[in-house]
């Protein structure tokens, strides 16, 4: 295979519950998984019903153009359907963008401690990563703007960011967009947007009207509870969307996913319940971290990054101690954060089980 493919470090997903049960001799039902920023309420009932009604259609291919889902998204975000690209999860969107806008030898800018798929997508097309050092665990937009080179074609920004949970104010993003040359596409990855408090929300999809080089990426995996179905979408002007659609696999979003996403979009109660649980769980976590004297990065997503020790084996050590107690969280050594763990916010009971296991692990 090509040298640039062999250079890729594989994505490390959260350990599945069944694997941890086998490995540590635990009962699956007793395991708490707070590792993949999933929705602790699972699939919305409205989506389950929509999928049940779709089962009999599975002998046919899905709608390759996602007509019905795009129609709902189009109404919701006030853009016409030809401004929307559907993805097999937003990971697909991130990767399609690399294929559509970058060729081997050109460069892609992203931040240190930003989402792992930016590196994978960049390296997957044989492009050169320009990794900009983070500022206070978040994106340093000034440094990112300054790092753009003549051959830069793409910039990835996660807001809120994973794995650090940091958030950049809309005014700063807009100032940044003004500085980026027109031939560089900015992918604004808003996978955790729905967890922001109303006063932090800004309908950034509206910026795509002003900035022809902006692509906003969203997902149904987090607040909408559909991670296992793999559905995400991008909003951008038709010139970008057209290129994305040429690269996209024709049937990249399956029929169940399209139906479930449409239902979830209309389920305001599910979103509200999730947001309230998330805010309460966040307080539950940070109060305990403060009491334990643990440093954490203030988070705007559905997870918190916490420093569990001051030596570089701390993350792996505490992670193992948690696994033995049946609690799965995410070590972030592969992100260059070996002293930290990333914990997804779960239901109050799950959060409490994690905190009890953490206290034991630290003792």
- Residues near ligand PMP (CB under 6 A) are 37, 89-91, 115, 158, 162, 189, 191, 219, 221, 227, 232
If the CB atoms of residues 90 and 245 are measured against ligand PMP, the closer one turns out to be 90
Residue at shortest CB range from ligand PMP = 89
| Count of Cβ atoms closer than 10 Å to residue 207 Cβ | 18
76 three-state secondary structure: helix
| DSSP characters over 163-192 | TT-----HHHHHHHHHHS-TTSEEEEE-TT
State how far the Cα of 128 lies from the Cα of 329, in Å rounded to an integer. 31
Tell the smallest beta-carbon distance from residue 192 to ligand PMP (Å).
Answer: 7
Backbone φ, ψ for residue 273 (5° rounding) = -60, -45
| DSSP characters over 1-41 | --HHHHTPPPP-PPPPHHHHHHHHT--GGG-EE-SS---TT
If the CB atoms of residues 166 and 213 are measured against ligand PMP, the closer one turns out to be 166
Tell the smallest beta-carbon distance from residue 186 to ligand PMP (Å).
Answer: 15
118: its two tokens: 């930016």
If the CB atoms of residues 51 and 332 are measured against ligand PMP, the closer one turns out to be 332
Tell the smallest beta-carbon distance from residue 245 to ligand PMP (Å).
Answer: 18
If the CB atoms of residues 35 and 306 are measured against ligand PMP, the closer one turns out to be 35
If the CB atoms of residues 40 and 232 are measured against ligand PMP, the closer one turns out to be 232
Tell the smallest beta-carbon distance from residue 217 to ligand PMP (Å).
Answer: 7
Question: In Å, what is the CA distance from 105 to each residue of 150, 152, 160, 163?
Answer: 12, 10, 29, 28
356: its two tokens: 């009890």
Tell the smallest beta-carbon distance from residue 58 to ligand PMP (Å).
Answer: 22
If the CB atoms of residues 37 and 147 are measured against ligand PMP, the closer one turns out to be 37
Contact 72, 262 (CB under 8 A): yes
Tell the smallest beta-carbon distance from residue 341 to ligand PMP (Å).
Answer: 16
Residue among 75, 44, 123, 122 at smallest CA distance from 235: 75
List Cβ neighbours of 142 (8 Å cut-off, separation of 6 or more). Answer: none
If the CB atoms of residues 90 and 319 are measured against ligand PMP, the closer one turns out to be 90
If the CB atoms of residues 156 and 211 are measured against ligand PMP, the closer one turns out to be 156
Q: Could you tell me the sign of the dihedral formed by the alpha carbons of 351, 357, 361, 362, in that order? A: positive
Q: Could you tell me the sign of the dihedral formed by the alpha carbons of 106, 109, 113, 115, in that order? A: negative
Tell the smallest beta-carbon distance from residue 261 to ligand PMP (Å).
Answer: 11
Tell the smallest beta-carbon distance from residue 300 to ligand PMP (Å).
Answer: 12
State how far the Cα of 237 lies from the Cα of 157, in Å rounded to an integer. 18
State how far the Cα of 295 lies from the Cα of 252, in Å rounded to an integer. 41
């Amino acid at each position: 295979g090509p040298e640039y493919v062999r250079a890729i470090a594989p994505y490390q997903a959260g350990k599945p519950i069944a694997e941890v049960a086998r490995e540590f001799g635990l009962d699956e039902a007793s395991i708490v998984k707070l590792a993949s920023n999933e929705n602790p309420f699972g699939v919305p009932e409205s989506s389950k019903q929509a999928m049940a009604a779709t089962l009999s259609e599975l002998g046919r291919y899905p709608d390759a153009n996602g007509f019905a889902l795009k129609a709902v998204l189009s109404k919701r975000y006030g853009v016409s359907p030809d401004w929307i690209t559907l993805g097999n999860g937003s990971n697909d969107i991130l990767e399609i963008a690399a294929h559509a806008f970058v060729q081997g030898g050109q460069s892609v800018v992203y931040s240190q401690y930003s989402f792992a798929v930016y590196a994978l997508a960049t390296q997957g097309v044989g492009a050169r990563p320009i990794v900009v050092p983070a500022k206070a665990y978040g994106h340093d937009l000034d440094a990112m703007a300054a790092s753009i080179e003549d051959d830069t074609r793409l910039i990835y920004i996660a807001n809120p960011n994973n794995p650090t949970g940091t958030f950049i104010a809309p005014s700063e993003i807009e100032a940044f967009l003004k500085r980026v040359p027109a031939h560089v596409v900015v992918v604004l990855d808003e996978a955790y947007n729905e967890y922001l408090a109303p006063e932090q929300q800004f309908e950034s999809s509206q910026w795509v009207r002003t900035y022809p080089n902006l692509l906003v990426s969203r997902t149904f995996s987090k607040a909408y509870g559909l991670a296992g179905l793999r559905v995400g979408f991008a909003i951008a002007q038709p010139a970008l969307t057209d290129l994305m659609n040429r690269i996209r696999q024709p049937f990249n979003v399956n029929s169940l996913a399209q139906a479930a996403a449409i239902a979830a979009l209309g389920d305001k109660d599910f979103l509200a319940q999730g947001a309230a649980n998330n805010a309460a769980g966040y307080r539950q976590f940070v109060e305990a971290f403060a009491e334990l004297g643990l440093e954490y990065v203030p988070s705007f997503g559905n997870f918190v990054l916490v420093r569990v020790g001051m030596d570089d084996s701390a993350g792996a050590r505490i992670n193992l101690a948690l696994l033995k107690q049946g609690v799965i969280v995410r070590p972030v050594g592969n992100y260059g954060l070996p002293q930290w763990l990333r914990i997804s916010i779960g239901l109050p009971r799950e959060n409490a089980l994690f905190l009890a296991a953490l206290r034991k692990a630290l003792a």
